[in-house]
Structure 1
Amino acid sequence: MEWIKSILEKHTDADGKLNLGEAIKEINEEAPKNVVPKDVYNKVAVEKKKAEAKVKEYEGTKLTDEEQRQKAIDDANAEKEKYQKMANKLEVEKILITAGMQEDDYKDFIDGIVTADADTSKTVATAMANTFKTKLEAAEAKAKNDNLKNTPRPGGGDGSSGETKSKDIQLAESLAANAGSKGGISAYLEGDNK
């Protein structure tokens, strides 16, 4: 794109004003010399891909027996690691599901904890499952306590300090209050409070 820059500089005067009409006219004249048409570019890109594929194929035929064996071993090891990760992922999912998790709970992070090493994957999954289980149990206990706090007490009491007192307690308190003014229980029994 240097050619456009040079044209714009060429048509800019000392004051920094651009003669846009002349710049566009010259850009249109120079464009065919500097720009590749899209259909030509696409054709060259396709040919380039074909050529790269042929070179790769040719290089494959020119590998020595030792290089071909090593390539086969590398490919087999890559496949082995892929299947080991898949097996480890199943084990990790089993651990997480046993802890009470569902797929939506672990789908975002499971690929991050699964490795080709089964022991490491299981250790991390177990730690996460234990943490999840502990949090779940704590949440359930809190919900149970909250439900118990909101449950009214039997017998009409509301759990506050102003509980309804039984008639026996009310009578005893009344007698105790009147004990000093009218002679207490003896006055009550003699008939003053009938």
Structure 2
Amino acid sequence: MKWIRKLIEGALINGDGRIDLESLMKQINEEFPRNAVPKSEFNQAKKKLKTAMAAIEILRESKSEKEMLLEIIKQQEATIQKLQYDVVNTIKSYSLNKQFGKAGIQDPDYLSYRQRGLDGFQLENKEKPMVIEELIKSLKEELDGKGYC
């Protein structure tokens, strides 16, 4: 929530000594997508993952035929892997947009394209993607060389 505090501290003051709420709300609406993962998306992916895990546990405990049970478990495990991949990509996407926003990048989709999508980025931790600084620096050098900056 540091980003909100920063916006409030830098808020414009009206002639009557009050904060200009229209300007502040506009800034908050611009910054919010760069600093937050929509709760509905995260909860939806988490719910699907829980459902798949519960289904596997129920199937393991049931007395179904062994071959059928193994096939169903394989399908559920594949579903779990896909959901885990989707969750990681959601985290990557929002953390990348946050980092791109901090760097002043106006077209984050182009940088993602240059890295061949989200798989071109690795996360140092759950917040910060690796190679962002190097990628931005190399792109700026390339654009400076072509006279775009």
Give me the TM-score of the superposition, normalised by structure 2: 0.39
If asked which structure has higher relative contact order (CA below 8 Å, sep 6+), I would say 2
Larger radius of gyration: 1
